[in-house]
Amino acid sequence: MKLIVDENIVLGKEAFETFGTVVYKNGRNITNNDLLIADALIVRSITNVNEELLNKTNIKFVGTATIGTDHIDLNYLENKNIQFSSAAGCNAYSVAEYVFSAILYITNKHNYNLANMSIGVVGYGNIGTKVVKIAKALGMKVVINDPPLERKGEQNFFSTLEDALKCDIITFHVPLNLEGIDKTVHLLNKERLKILNANAILINSSRGPVVDNYELMQKLKTEKNFHTVLDVWETEPKFNVELYKLIDIGTSHIAGYSFEGKINGTKIIYDSLSKHLKTPIVWKPILNKVVDNKIEILENERIAQILQKIFNKSYQVIDDDKLLRKSVGFSAEERIKHFDFLRKNYRVRRELNNFEVVIKNKNKELQNLLNVLRVKLI
Active site residues: 207, 236, 253
> 164 in helix, strand or coil?
helix
- Rounded to whole angstroms, the Cα distance separating 144 from 73 reads 29
- Rounded to whole angstroms, the Cα distance separating 132 from 112 reads 19
What φ, ψ does residue 224 adopt, rounded to 5°? -75, -20
Q: Are strands 40-43 and 61-64 parallel, antiparallel or unpaired?
A: parallel
Task: Give the bridge partners for 145, in sequence order.
Answer: 122
In terms of Cβ atoms closer than 10 Å to its own Cβ (0-12, 13-18, 19+), residue 162 is exposed
Q: Are strands 141-145 and 118-122 parallel, antiparallel or unpaired?
A: parallel
Check: CB of residue 165 under 8 Å from CB of residue 142: no
CA nearest to 228, candidates 142, 169, 143: 169
CA nearest to 63, candidates 75, 77, 76: 77
> 331 in helix, strand or coil?
coil
- Rounded to whole angstroms, the Cα distance separating 89 from 354 reads 19
CA nearest to 227, candidates 170, 172, 189: 170
Check: CB of residue 159 under 8 Å from CB of residue 191: no
Q: Give Cα separations from 220 to 26, 120, 190, 196, 198 (angstroms).
A: 36, 20, 12, 12, 10
- Rounded to whole angstroms, the Cα distance separating 312 from 359 reads 17
